[in-house]
Chains A and B, each alone.
Chain A
Amino acid sequence: MRIEGARGKTEPTLLAVALAGSWREAPPEPELTADELGQVIPLLTGSGAAALAWWKIRGSHLQESAPARTLRQSYHTQTLQAALQDWEIEHVFSLLRSARVEPILLKGWAAACLYPERGLRPPGDIDLCIRPERHEAAKSALWGRERRGTTSVDLTHDDSALSGVGGWEGLYARTRLAALGGTQVRVLGHEDQLRFLCLHLLRHSAYRPLWLCDVAAALEAARPDFDWCVALGGSARERNWVTCVLDLARRLLGARFDQVPEEVSSRRAPEWLVEEVLTQWERPCTAERWPHELMSVSLRRPSRVLTALLKRWPDPIRASVGLGLPFDGSPRLPRQLAFYLLQSARFLNRPLRRRGVPVKNPAGLTSPH
């Protein structure tokens, strides 16, 4: 597969080749050598895309290669992880329903349903969307004594990415029920799911190739009655963002545009966006992207201030999304500078007390505030 906008066989382009079409029941033949696959093994395993890469190469000339063993191992481990998480999702739904809260399951489990096997996507947090007025009831239920299990439950998501056409009522009306063990869990409607996956990817600078695979899988799962007006969102800005991500899925991973209307397929993401996503894929592992030190802590050590400031220089995707600007041919540097200044102003505007304690706890629930 030739990647439009890519220069040579860099690690990000090899990632793209390794994952192209991997979400399908019958993926295409891998177009890379065992050495090339070996080169991107750390990126595939670190970013949660190893099982998908295994799915793609199984049955091919690479199946018996040394790198393939690592991928197969990830596939096995993830499959069991997914199985182990099922009971916990059932338990969380049961707790919340007892408190008369009806959650919508987002991302992880719901996105995994887009693949031929659930174990192909790594399970992470249990991401739930709750109506704003039911947040407190949900937190009480989840922080209660009856809660079991260790998986983080994340209730905080970008509401604007979720609400879409028709607001919360429209969103709930379009949800579906999916079978999970002995119960049924509520997931987003197909259209809302595609839009949410696109916007979530952009808000995180598209750094994980897995997220673009999610988008590609959701796109190819679109049925003839798929409502593109809902999927693209209500505003011109959202339409721009969603169509650009769909174009990224096509150009970087070879997603099929069979079901896509002309209005969407004719839209192309700017070249810089394609290049920037490939740049982001040079560091696709979440662990590497945490700042390691809060700004408030760095400020107390003058020798680290410059490094801390440089680490917070925003990439053009994050800057554009943060400022609510469309992806187009406009110069990126002014956006990045404006967003950087905006963030600095926000930081300086905060009171000086109570700084330095991260609120989002990687091992537990997101703290209520």
Chain B
Amino acid sequence: MSEPYLPTARKSKLVVRELADEILVYDADGHRAHCLNRTAALVWKHCDGRTPASGIAERVAEELSFAVSEEVVWLALDQLAEFDLLMSAAVARSPVSNLISRRKMIRRLGIAAAVSLPLITSIVSPTPAQAQSPCTETSCPPGTTCQAGICEPDT
């Protein structure tokens, strides 16, 4: 019997911000940003390299206070691997992911339960801020004068 797959969350070169019901991740390597819903975030949190999918399912169920199947965890692992958030790809080792897609699972569980399925979405990657204030009559450096928002040289 083969060794169980023990997924490990990638930590390096990521900027992570936890919000109330989701986690935002900026991948500095690929300059991509992702939003993990609560289920995906919890699965990712428990990818400690020591816990198999079945164990992750138990822990996530405990935190969400409802049953979470191993299938759901594999669905999350597939997405985490796709978005490069795991140390090694889970897809090849998943016993179920090739068989059950998210859409099929939604059909099986019903729309109401679908909100509990893991979901990772791409978001617009942060760019340098463009909120620079224009100058005013008194804010221009010495030797310049404000001309409608721009400091023009006056010597």
Residues of A within 8 A of B (CB): 48, 73, 76-81, 83-85, 107-108, 117, 119, 122-125, 150-152, 154, 156-160, 200, 203-204, 286-287, 289-291, 294-296, 311-312, 321-322, 346-347, 350-351, 354-360, 362-363, 366-369
What are 12 inter-chain pairs, A to B, with CB distance below 8 A? A77-B125, A84-B15, A122-B131, A125-B131, A154-B132, A154-B133, A157-B139, A347-B147, A356-B152, A359-B150, A363-B128, A367-B141
A-B pair number, CB within 8 angstroms: 147
Given known contacts A122-B129, A203-B136, A347-B147, A359 and B141 CB-to-CB distance under 8 angstroms: yes
Q: How far is the CA of A160 from the CA of B139 in the complex (A)?
A: 10
B123 contacts chain A at the CB level, 8 A cutoff:
yes
Are B152 and A156 in contact (CB-based, < 8 A)? no
Q: B132 to A76, Cβ gap below 8 A?
A: no
Residues of A within 8 A of B151 (CB): 358-360, 366
State whether the Cβ of B155 lies closer than 8 Å to any Cβ in chain A: yes
- Rounded to whole Å, the gap between the CB of A8 and the closest CB of chain B is 30
Q: Is B119 an interface residue (CB 8 A)?
A: no
| Residues of chain B lying within 8 A (CB to CB) of residue A346 | 145
Question: When the two chains form their complex, are residues B138 and A358 in contact, meaning their CB atoms are under 8 A apart?
Answer: no
B131 proximity list for chain A (CB < 8 A): 48, 108, 122-125, 286
B155 interface neighbour in A122, A152, A158, A351, Cβ under 8 Å: A351
Given contact pairs A76-B24, A358-B151, A359-B141, A83 touches B17 in the complex (Cβ within 8 A): yes
A-B interface, 6 closest residue pairs, ranked by CB to CB distance from nearest: A124-B131, A81-B126, A291-B148, A350-B154, A369-B143, A203-B136
Q: In the complex, how many angstroms separate the beta carbon of B133 from the nearest chain A beta carbon? A: 6
CA A35 to CA B26, docked complex, whole Å: 32
Interface centre among A107, A125, A369, by most B CB within 10 Å? A369
What A residues does B138 contact at CB under 8 A?
158-160, 203
Known: A291-B150, A294-B152. 19 other contacts (CB 8 A): A73-B123, A77-B123, A77-B126, A80-B15, A80-B24, A80-B33, A80-B126, A125-B131, A156-B140, A158-B138, A203-B136, A286-B133, A290-B149, A291-B147, A294-B147, A312-B148, A356-B152, A363-B128, A366-B141
Q: What are the residues of chain B within 8 A of A362 when measuring CB–CB?
A: 130, 132
Query: Is A73 within 8 A of B129, CB to CB?
Result: no
Contact A85 B129, beta carbon cutoff 8 Å: yes
Main secondary structure, interface of B, reads: loop
User: Are B144 and A369 closer than 8 Å at their CB atoms?
Assistant: yes
**Chain A neighbourhood of B144, CB < 8 A:** 359, 369
B111 at the interface (CB under 8 A from A): no
**Distance of A90 from chain B, by nearest CB (Å):** 14
Residue in chain B with minimal CB distance to A159 = B138
Q: Is the CB of B33 within 8 A of A287?
A: no
Q: Are B129 and A124 in contact (CB under 8 A)?
A: yes
The reply to whether A77 and B132 contact each other, CB–CB distance below 8 Å, is no
Contact A119 B17 (CB under 8 A): yes
Give min CB distance, A297 to chain B, whole Å: 10
Q: For chain B, which range describes its interface: under 10, 10 to 19, 20 to 34, or 35 or more residues? A: 35 or more
Q: Does B48 have its Cβ within 8 Å of any Cβ on chain A? A: no
In the assembled complex, B84 has its CB within 8 A of some CB on chain A: no
Closest CB in chain A relative to B20 CB, distance in Å:
9
Residues in B whose Cβ lies below 8 Å from that of A295: 147-148, 152
Residues of A within 8 A of B152 (CB): 294-296, 355-359
The residue in chain B whose Cβ has the minimal distance to the Cβ of A82 is B17
Q: Residue of B at shortest CB range from A308?
A: B148
Of chain A, the residue at the smallest CB distance from B148 is: A291
**Most A Cβ at <10 Å: residue of B17, B26, B140, B145:** B17
| Least Cβ–Cβ distance between A205 and chain B, in angstroms | 9
Cα A108 to Cα B149 in complex, Å, equals 19
User: Once the chains bind, are B154 and A351 in contact (CB under 8 Å)?
Assistant: yes
Q: Name A290's contact: one of B19, B26, B134 (CB within 8 Å).
A: B134
Interface centre among B124, B129, B147, B152 (most CB of A within 10 A): B129
**In whole angstroms, what is the CA distance A48 to B132 when docked?**
11
A357–B132 Cα distance when bound, in Å, is 18
- Chain B: minimal CB distance from A159 (Å): 8
Q: Are B132 and A286 in contact (CB under 8 A)?
A: yes
Among A117, A122, A358, contact of B150 (Cβ-Cβ < 8 Å):
A358
The docked-state distance in angstroms from the alpha carbon of A296 to that of B24 is 47
CA distance A291 to B149 in the complex (A): 7
CA distance A154 to B134 in the complex (A): 11
Closest to B18 in A: A79
Q: Is B150 a contact partner of A290 (Cβ separation < 8 A)?
A: yes
A76 touching B134 by the CB < 8 A rule? no
Q: In the complex, which residue of chain A has the Cβ closest to the Cβ of B135?
A: A360
For residues 85 through 101 of chain B, which have their beta carbon under 8 Å from a beta carbon of chain A? none
Q: Is the CB of A124 within 8 A of B132?
A: yes
